[in-house]
Chains A and B, each alone.
Chain A
Amino acid sequence: MFSRLREIDKPLISVALALAAYGLATLYSAGQTDVPTAVATIWVRQLVWLALGAVAAALVFRTSPRLLEWASPYAYGAIVLLLMITLVIGTGAGTAAGSKSWIAIGGHRLGQPAELGKLAVILMLARWIADRREPPATLRELVYPGVIMGIPFVLVMLQPDLGSAIVFVTILFAMLFWAGTKPQLLILLASPAIGLILAFSTIAWGAWIVLLFGLLLWWRSYVWEGLAVMMANVLMGVVAFPFWRHLAPYQQNRLLAFLNPEVDPRATGWHVIQSKVAVGSGGFLGEGFTLGSQKRLAFLPAQHTDFIFSVVGEELGFVGVVVALTLFLALLLVLLRIARRATDSYSSLCVFGIAGLLFTHIVENVGMTVNLLPITGIPLPFFSYGGSFLLACSLAMGIALRVAWESRQSGYAEL
């Protein structure tokens, strides 16, 4: 046991612990408002979740990747089942009270299956890709991983939780990339999404279709593949407006507010504006730990979940932001290094998928606080309050630590 601990990947565990401590401190500060709310004491509950997560991580660390690989389909199946149950009995919470994201028993919310679902999809995709030994070379070969990702994606979209659903997509792309899928194929796969976005300007969409046609000729793809891609892009152009109308008003507003927060500063743009004001007023050194006035006076919305990074920006300033981002950068680089040195392709894909998951969460959450990205309510790893995602992160750290330990055992020298 202790010998294993001695061989543990020290950079990873120290970065993870540092982030957990930084996050807990920020969460404590987020609760310090002038008019006390329930947020004031949630850092204690987060501490309990951290302890639970540490236990879970330790258990996973003791689990062989082979056992994980064997268990992946079962975990995946269980999560899909849980997501289906969630759609039936799920409840909303907080800013998204109308959605069905939470499993609750007797009125007590237990957790969000979607967060664990992300991990399950990583494991399942890793198993499928590792089994094939060759990267998918054609669009038809991408159907199966697409379905693996697609089932939980659709289930989460139905909740509806657009933010988490997008994370599933980025995980798929990250893992296909790591498996060695040709970039052309990934672009073709992504083309319908690009077509969807460009459909809001007819000229841009037309240009995209012409470009895509050229690319298909250039890459000499199969005729039926090319036809399918073209059809999909045309279809996206057609359904774009019905799809837009189908989006919930809050989702539309978030996208509109991203483009121009001042459209409706008191309602739609409120989150973005207040977040930017909090971050911007922080300046170089910040207003001081627990002293951020936007947060204290409740101008900053969701300061303990979605916008917790704005608290860092306001109270600890640019310095605090850079420290936090450096820690996140270190975490991602360590994970990439572990993925590179993994002893087997399954482990490698798992760790890279985890890196992709964390990367998406970090970039999206941090980016939206300064309006670099539209608002989607996905949590910041180790910072945002929430048991399910913290548990998912802990499990991910456990897996990564195990993979690193395995490769250490097999002879990779310490960097």
Chain B
Amino acid sequence: MTTFHPFRMDRRLRVARGIVWGTMGVIVLGFFRAQILEHGRYELKSRTNRLKAITLPAPRGVITDRRGAVLAENVPGYTVSLLPADTAAMRATLWRIAPIVKLDSAAIGRVLARYLRVPYQPAVVLADAPFPVVSTLEERRLLIPGLVIQTEPKRHYPDSGDIAHLIGYVGEVTEQELAQRRNAALGLGALVGQDGLEREYDDSLRGADGLRFVEVTALGHVVRDHGASPTLRPVSGAPLRTTIDLDLQRFVARIFPAGQRGAVVAMDPNTGEVLALYSAPGYDPNRFVGGVTPDYWRTLSENEAHPFFDRAIQARYPPGSTWKLALAAMALKRGLVTMHSHMPIPCRGGLQYGNRFFRCWQAKGHGDLTLQEAIAQSCDVYFYQLGLKLGLSSVLEDANAWGFRGRTGVDLPGEIPPEFPTGTDYYDRIYGSRHWTSAVTLNLAIGQGENAQTLISMVRLYQMLASDGREHTPYLVHPNIPSDVSLELSAEQLAGLRQAMIAVVERGTARGARREAISIAGKTGTAQNPHGPNHGWFIGFAPADKPRIVVGAIIEFAREGPYVAPLVARVIARYLGVDTSAASVVRMVLPSDTAPATVQVLPSALPDTVRHDTVPPDTTRKDTTHVLAAPRDR
């Protein structure tokens, strides 16, 4: 009997056939399950494998001045991004394109960090790529897996530095901001306003980003736009019309003495509309578009003039003699004096009070003055006595009621409140109960002592003087809730104060500001600076009879001579359409006050609008402490 007997072979053949059929059946079932039953699942996996979403940034809203002239617009720019398969591929690709896009190892590190934060989004390598770089990259597309080049709206500020503090700039959102603004539809890598109006009105300016899908290979090569997948169109941000007069703003920036630090604020006294807001030194907001270079950031942050600092709303200065108008208004409101009242002691160059001698800025004395003359001459002795007549508690009460302790509420980020005592308990706390005398009243009376105001806060005082005594909160875009703060002065009293201020310009301390065609009312001031030359103030409005503009200016270390009053006068003249060609540089006599105030000029903390996190850690400022004043407490 052989093993190859047909009968036995047939049996084995049946077994073999059974095994073949059975196995094939199992395999077909396996494919049936994968291809028919689980088709949807794998179809989805296939799509997520190869389709990558790329954000289409929405154009930000255009910002214009009051007449529609552009302050901030969008121009087309190219962004170069990478959509890598993994970190190793990302690093390799970055090194490959480094010579083309000029990346050093630190820049590569930053791109990698950005990629690791959002691994499934394209990481921006170059936010504002010049065209030659873009074309070079396009030629080498096959060698650069995951290369995404997009035209994106790029922010542009035609007036760059002239409007820097006003407009601010845009930058990539930080993780802290993301945490703070959880409600906003923000993703990592989104551009948000970082300062000024860009930040204040970011929510309306930003618009809604779109999405598009691209098909990528396993190595990350972007093969084609995926036509079938719906593209979500970006919705551009709402335009923003401001109250700024661009012509005036440019004029201020042009005539502001070069190299000086200071600020200018121009307002419509009848509405609170801010016409110009300038702070010097400034910076170029265009250089922040698409990421500031570390070099430029270092230049700015290590600059001891602090260019980021908006001196109009973020710096406190002792108001000096500009404060005298506040004191005069308090006395008039309380009916203690009229414009023609004399003080008991005429000015002989100073006032003996207790065991101290408080000098007047003019050592030879002013003689016997009326209030009107005292304002014009800025006589300290007169105001010492006026302050004593009012009494400390009245001064504190009125100053607090008129808002000299609070922010003005201007619609700009980072405004700091001025400093002023809340009441007498403030002095108890500082010096200890019974350890201070009403000598503090004398200091307060002439704008020294425990009083530090921001420029915009003082401009607000003059706005009230220039209008009917009521406060109009300064604003750039939206008028704020009507303020119920008022000086509560009669029309005659207001007119008297204006008359006194006209006298300041015509005959008094601000003769340099005189203009033939217009009557400017205003007041000079000197802010004592323990660190060097004093700071010069001038705040004025015109026309004096029916004011249309109030302008305040401060120049730090006015060492070059008191340009301040002529500067303000030229700004006013420009706005009112008066010829400014005959700009004369007249030296202005500024009162040199005596009160030994050591009020802080710069705040001890930097404004929170300054961003620390967009730059490498080595560029953080180190040498700022000597610029900041010593602690105020004595």
Contacts and interface: CB of A to CB of B under 8 A. Distances in A.
B35 A178 contact: no
A159 to B, nearest CB: 27
Given A297-B223, A321-B31, A370-B30, A348 B4 contact: yes
Contacts of B218: 297-299
Interface stretch (B7-15, B271-279, B465-473): B7-15
A387 B435 CA distance: 105
A317 B46 contact: no
A223 B170 CA distance: 89
Interface string A327-363: 0110011001001100001001000100100010001
Interface in A181-209: none
Interface string B335-347: 0000000000000
Contact of A298 (B31, B38, B219): B219
B28 A325 contact: yes
Nearest to A174: B16
Interface stretch (A1-9, A112-120, A161-169, A280-288): A280-288
Contacts of B42: 276-277, 279-281
B120 interface: no
A278 interface: yes
B39 A281 contact: yes
A339 B15 CA distance: 14
B216 interface: yes
Contact of B3 (A134, A281, A325): A134
A298 B215 CA distance: 12
Contacts, number: 136
Contacts of B215: 293, 297
B3 A179 contact: yes
Contact of A135 (B3, B39, B43): B3
Given A284-B36, A313-B31, A336-B17, A277 B46 contact: yes
A325 B27 contact: yes
Contacts of B15: 177
Contacts of A133: 2-3
A394 B250 CA distance: 87
Residue in A274, A332, A348 with the greatest tally of chain B CB atoms within 10 Å = A332
A367 B27 contact: yes
Interface stretch (B18-26, B354-362, B449-457): B18-26
B634 interface: no
A128 interface: no
Contact of A299 (B24, B32, B49): B49
A372 B41 contact: no
A318 B37 CA distance: 11
Residue in B31, B33, B215, B219 with the greatest tally of chain A CB atoms within 10 Å = B31
Given A34-B223, A178-B12, A281-B46, A363 B35 contact: no
A317 B39 CA distance: 10
B225 interface: no
A68 B36 CA distance: 47
Contacts of B31: 279, 313, 318, 321-322, 325, 370
Contacts of A313: 31, 34-35
Given A135-B3, A280-B38, A370-B30, A294 B50 contact: yes
B35 A321 contact: yes
Contact of B30 (A266, A283, A367): A367
B86 interface: yes
Given A280-B39, A318-B35, A329 B24 contact: yes
B120 to A, nearest CB: 14
A262 to B, nearest CB: 12
Nearest to B31: A321
A336 B16 contact: yes
Nearest to B217: A297
Contacts of A280: 34-35, 38-39, 41-43, 45-46
A366 interface: yes
Nearest to A266: B86
A370 B34 contact: yes
A97 interface: no
Interface string B209-230: 0000001111101011000000
B51 to A, nearest CB: 10
B485 interface: no
Contacts of A299: 49-50, 217-218
B401 interface: no
Nearest to A285: B35
A180 interface: yes
A67 interface: no
Contact of A35 (B9, B24, B223): B223
Residue in A277, A339, A340, A348 with the greatest tally of chain B CB atoms within 10 Å = A277
A247 B3 CA distance: 40
Contacts of B43: 280-281, 283
B116 interface: no
B113 interface: no
A407 to B, nearest CB: 13
A280 B33 CA distance: 8
B142 interface: yes
Contacts of A372: 26-27, 30
Interface in A22-57: 33-35
Interface in B224-262: 224
The 3 closest A-B pairs by CB, nearest first: A280-B42, A180-B3, A281-B46
Given A280-B43, A299-B49, A322-B31, 18 more contacts: A34-B223, A35-B221, A177-B15, A180-B3, A277-B49, A279-B35, A280-B35, A283-B36, A284-B35, A294-B50, A298-B217, A298-B218, A299-B50, A321-B35, A325-B24, A333-B20, A348-B4, A370-B27
24 contacts: A33-B217, A34-B224, A35-B217, A274-B49, A279-B34, A280-B38, A280-B41, A283-B43, A293-B46, A294-B46, A297-B49, A297-B216, A297-B218, A298-B218, A298-B219, A313-B31, A313-B35, A318-B32, A321-B31, A325-B24, A336-B13, A348-B4, A363-B23, A367-B30
